[in-house]
Amino acid sequence: MATPAATKRLTREYATISKSPPPYIIAHPSEKNILEWHYILTGPPDTPYDGGQYWGTLMFPPDYPFAPPAIRMHTPSGRFQPSTRLCLSISDFHPKSFNPAWEVSTILTGLLSFMTSEEMTTGSVRASDAERKLFAQRTRWWNSTGGGSKAQNNGSRGAGAIKAGDGGTKFRAEWPELDEENQKWMKEKRINPQTGLPLSSSSQPHCSPDMAGLRKRANGSATTVGAVVQQGQVAREVGQSWLGRNKWRIVIGTLISYIIVARVLGEGSLSTAA
């Protein structure tokens, strides 16, 4: 339970951040617990996270601001392990280095700055820019459906961690307006709610022109099918060695040569005897 000082401080900070949010950042406390804050970082332009919607939590201690919060990012980003406590100078990993003058906006601005850097710490991961861009494209889907959360438990524990399978439910409870926007976006983009990928415009799987042509020939006339079979036989013959193709000719030729040589030697022996 929050102390009166923590409640007063966080209430004031909520009013401040709501009135003047930092760039690419929004946040609010949970209705049930003022110590549990939910934030959204929007990926800044000119970064691999451009346009991504990154949801996370700050779990403040009861004696805030004299101790820092636990910081987690739940949305897969290619930068942090989902729902894992992050070791930062502004997090509960380093309580002695926390400055009571720092506010929620300070903490989240620092988190965004760290996210767009390449510095490594506990809870961070390495990924290519291409991989992070793919994560960014699927953030809205993941947040509003809990996409993949059943398969990504990550063994996370502690207050604020998102348990396996409840990601979408928790997000909808904390961000109903954003969830509604995400649902409309997924419908407009024809996003498959099971995979987070665009739905195919055709029920038939796509294939290359070469594969399509091969399929057409295989299902074509008897003449075409016969030609395909014949080409297969030729291919098999080409794959065999010369010796393998002519082994019986070699055997017969060797036998005939042996008979001829034996006959010649036999006639030579008779001439000598005479």
Query: What are the structure tokens assigned to 70, written together?
Result: 């636990």
For residues 226 and 232, the answer to whether their CB atoms sit within 8 Å is: no
**Residue 65: alpha-carbon gap to chain centroid:** 37
- Upper half-sphere CA count for residue 169 (Cβ side, 13 Å): 7
For residues 189 and 196, the answer to whether their CB atoms sit within 8 Å is: no
| 87 is a catalytic site residue | yes
DSSP string, 171-189: HHHH-HHHHHHHHHHHHHT
Q: What are phi and psi of 93, to 5 degrees?
A: -70, -25
Residue 71's H or E segment, with its range, is: strand 70-73
> How far apart, in whole angstroms, are the C-alpha atoms of residue 233 and residue 208?
25
**Residue 68: Cβ-neighbour burial (10 angstroms; 0-12, 13-18, 19+):** buried
Of the candidates 87, 125, 134, 173, the residue annotated as catalytic is 87
At which residue do the structure tokens 């601001």 appear?
Answer: 65
Active site residue ranges: 87
